[in-house]
Structure 1
Amino acid sequence: MTVRGEEADSGDRAASGTRRRVLRALRAAVLAAGIGAAAFVAGFGWFANEVSLMKTPADPPGADAIVVLTGGHFRLNAAVDLLRAGKGKRLLISGVNPVARAGDLQQATGAEAALFSCCVDIDRVALDTIGNAAESAKWVRANAYEKIIVVTNNYHMPRSLLEMRRLLAGTALLPYPVVSSNLEEGGWLAKPDALRVLFTEYLKYLGAVARGALPDDDAGAKVLARG
C-alpha cells in the first residue's frame, strides 16, 4: 500500500470514529431529554395530585396569628372568618394594592369595623409571592409569633409555604387552603381552566425550587434584611 493509501485509510478511520462519538453523544442527549421529560411530567402529576387532595380544614387549630396572601377568590373572607372565630390574635393581609383603602377591604369582607380596626394589619409592599413571604416574615418576627395560619388558594399553597419556610424556619406554618373548585379524583384533567392554572403554578413552583438552590439568589432574604 502506498503512503497516500495509508493516509486515506487513516482519515477514514478518524472520520468513522468521529461519527461514532457524535452518534453516542446524540443518543445520550436524547436519553437525557427523555428522562427529563418523564421527570417533568411525573412531577406535574405529583403536584396536581397534592393540590387536588388539599381540603379546607373544618375546624383548624388556633395559632398566634393569621396571614392571608391576596390574589385569589375567597381568600380574604376565609381569613376574616378565622380571625372572627378567634383562631388568631391578628391578621396580616399581604400584597394589597397601594391604592386600596382599609375601609374598602373591610366592606369587601363584611368584617365588623371594630374587628378590622383593632386586629388587621395591611401590607402594601409585596408584589408577588416572594414579597408576600418577606413582608410576612418581618411581621411575624416583629410580633414574636411562633405559630401562623397561612391562607391562600390550594394551588398556590405549595409555593407559598416553600417561600415562607425559607424565612421562617423556626415558625410553625399551618396551611389553610381555600378550595374554589373540586379537583378530586383527577377532576382537574377534565377542566381546562384548572389544568392551565395548575400547570402555570407548577412551572412557578419549579422556578422557586431552582431559585432556592442558588446560594446568592435569595430575593426574599434581601427584602427581609432591608426591613
Structure 2
Amino acid sequence: MKSIAAFLVLALIWFAGLLAFATRVQQSTPAPYPEAAQGVVALTGANSNERIAAAMDLLQDGMAQRLLISGVNRDATREDIRNVSKPARRLYDCCVDLGFTAADTVGNARETADWARSMRFKNLIIVTADYHMPRAMLELRAVMREPQFQLQAYAVPTPALKARRWWRSPKSARLMVVEYCKYLAILGREAVLGLGPRDPAQGPSTADAAQQED
C-alpha cells in the first residue's frame, strides 16, 4: 500500500508540473517585444520558417547587429534560407550567419555559445517555439554560465497549443507531454551536475548529445 500511495503522490506531482509547464508555454506568447541586443539567434526545429521569420524581423527592425540561424540542414544553401526568410539581400549578405553543426537542442546551445564568443557578443535574443523555449534556455544557460551573458527569450507561438483544452488533441497532448518530460530530464541533469564542481565553459557532457531534436 505504501508503494501505491507513493506512486500516486509522484503521479500527482508530475501532473501538476505538467499543467504548470503548459500554462507557462501558453502564456509565453504573444511575446513582449525584446530590448535591443547585440545578436539574435533562431533555433531551427519543427516550425523553422516561423522562427526564422520572427528572428529576421527583429534584425530588420534594428534590434540586433547580427543573426545566427542555428541547426540549418546541411543540404540547405544560403539561397535556400534566404528564400524562406525573404529579407533584403543587403541585410542578409552582411548580417546573417548560418550554423550547420547543431542536430539537437544541446547542439544549438553549443553552436550559439561558440558564435557569441567569437563575435564577442554578451546580449542575445533567443527565438524558438513556445514549447521549446524552456528547455532551450536551460541548455543555453548550461553552456553560457559566464555572468556577462544576458539572454532574452522571444517565443514563437504554436497554434495547436494555444487552445485552452489542448489535451483534447492527441497531437497537441503528445507534443506537450514529450517536451515536459525532456524539460524534466534537463532539470534533473543540472541538479546532479550541480552537486559537484564543474567547468563553466564545459557545458553538457558528450552523452547529453543523445537528447532528441525538438
- Report the count of equivalent residues: 197
Q: What fraction of aligned residue pairs are identical, expressed as a percent?
A: 37
Alignment of 1:62 onto 2:40? no
User: Which residue does 1:172 correspond to in 2?
Assistant: 150
User: Which residue does 1:206 correspond to in 2?
Assistant: 184
User: Which residue does 1:89 correspond to in 2?
Assistant: 65
User: Which residue does 1:119 correspond to in 2?
Assistant: 95
Per-residue deviation, 1:142: 1.7
When normalised by structure 1's length, the TM-score is: 0.80
Per-residue deviation, 1:183: 4.2
User: Which residue does 2:122 correspond to in 1?
Assistant: 146
Secondary structure, counterpart of 2:192 in structure 1: coil
Alignment of 1:35 onto 2:9? yes
User: Which residue does 1:105 correspond to in 2?
Assistant: 81
Alignment of 1:195 onto 2:173? yes
Could you say which structure has the greater relative contact order, defined with CA pairs below 8 angstroms and 6 or more residues apart?
Answer: 2
Structure 1 pair 100–179 and aligned structure 2 pair: CA distance change class (3 A):
same
Corresponding letter in the other structure for 2:190: G
Corresponding letter in the other structure for 1:129: T
Gaps of 5+ in 2: 207-214
User: Equivalents in 1 of 2:44, 2:163: separation in Å?
Assistant: 28
Larger Rg: 1
Gaps of 5+ in 1: 1-26
Contact 1:64 1:146 in 2 (8 A): yes
User: Equivalents in 1 of 2:160, 2:31: separation in Å?
Assistant: 15
What does the per-residue CA deviation read over 1:137-186, in whole Å, with 9 as the maximum and x for residues that have no partner?
11112222121100000000000001111122321111100013164573
User: Equivalents in 2 of 1:72, 1:185: separation in Å?
Assistant: 19
User: Which residue does 2:209 correspond to in 1?
Assistant: none
Alignment of 1:80 onto 2:56? yes
User: Equivalents in 2 of 1:84, 1:72: separation in Å?
Assistant: 23
Cα RMSD over matched residues? 2.1
Corresponding letter in the other structure for 1:103: E
When normalised by structure 2's length, the TM-score is: 0.84
Of Structure 1 and Structure 2, which has the larger fraction of its residues in helix? 1
User: Equivalents in 2 of 1:115, 1:177: separation in Å?
Assistant: 23
Per-residue deviation, 1:28: 2.7
